[in-house]
Amino acid sequence: MQRLLDVPAPAKINLFLHVTGRRADGYHELQSVFRLVDWADTLHLEARRDGRLSREDLRPAGDASPPLPEDDLCLRAARALQAASGCPLGAHIVLDKRIPQQAGLGGGSSDAASTLMALNRLWGLDWPRDALIRLGTRLGADVPFFLGGRNAWVEGIGDRLTPVDLPTARYAIVKPAAGTATAAIYTASDLERATPLAIMRDFVAGIAADPIRPWGRNDLQPVAMRLCPDVAAALERLTRLGLQPRMTGSGSAVFAVLPGDAEAAAVQTADWPNGWQIRICHGLPEHPLVGWQKDAII
């Protein structure tokens, strides 16, 4: 039995995010394109024969973000897979946390997905991808995307995914010191909830014609700007650098496509406030663990 695994858990950005309706159960209907980027956490996993599940949290020097909850998504994912599979083994998970929290970058969901894929291999379960996705759906709306393995057109409450090929791109991602509360944004009375349905081929044609200009919009952005002034400040600073920024997810991180090296250098050398995280990222064509499952990519 394999005893140790080190696996990446990449972040995502939302190239656009439309809220198209609200269901009777309170969940919002969305349309979005999720893109994987090379800003990633790393999980170190070791199998345990005593059946226990434990997690250790590592942080880079100077990281002032709040500690992860004791029952975080990694442990919840491990517990769910252990229960569903009847596996008697346990695991110790060391999470090297690099993706900031309350950023809209999907770090927690990505950690959960990589935990499921790693334990599936570490425990010798050999579950197919669709079985992991069904389990991941119960953990969080973004988990199925990371398990799917490809950049995707996303609909519904995040449960309907269509793979989409995206052009090569480099992004500036700026995470202000302040975070945003997703629940506060989705319950705001001024949130746009009736954006007309978009068509995927229009998006594909739009970014093919102009890969620099953002397509569509992020309906959560106006509310996030009101609740978190740092979001507005980050957007304004990137705009002053000649870029066309947008918030990802429910924020507070914002991003912009970088046309070339000059723009990347301008972002890296700009005078950013203390506590802000600035990262130059490349879009990924697929998840680094996409080949671990034998069935077809969703």
Catalytic (active-site) positions: 12, 142
Half-sphere exposure of 287 (CA within 13 A, CB side): 31
Contacts of 291 (CB under 8 A, 6+ apart): none
Helix (H, G, I), strand (E, B), or coil: what is residue 41? strand
101 is in an annotated binding site: yes
- 102 labeled binding residue: yes
Give which of 139, 211, 129 is closest to 163, Cα–Cα. 129
According to the annotation, is 227 in a ligand binding site?
Answer: no
Query: Is 108 labelled a binding residue?
Result: yes
Alpha carbon distance 92, 51 (integer Å): 10
Q: Is 293 annotated as a binding residue?
A: no
Q: Is 60 annotated as a binding residue?
A: no
Is 103 marked within a binding site?
yes
Task: Please list the alpha-helical segments (H only) found in 5-155.
Answer: 73-85, 107-122, 129-137, 143-148
Strands annotated E in the chain: 4-22, 28-48, 53-58, 90-96, 152-156, 160-163, 170-175, 246-247, 254-257, 277-282
Q: CA quadruple 165, 176, 158, 110: dihedral positive or negative? A: positive
User: Is 105 part of any known ligand binding site?
Assistant: yes
Please provide residue 9's backbone torsions phi and psi, each rounded to the nearest 5 degrees. -135, 90
- From the number of C-beta atoms within 10 Å of its C-beta (0-12, 13-18, 19+), residue 190 rates as exposed
Taking 3-state DSSP, the helix, strand and coil percentages for the chain, each rounded to the nearest 5, stand at 30, 30, 40
Residue 112 among known ligand-binding residues: no
Residue ranges of the annotated binding site are 100-110
Residue ranges of the annotated binding site for ATP are 100-110
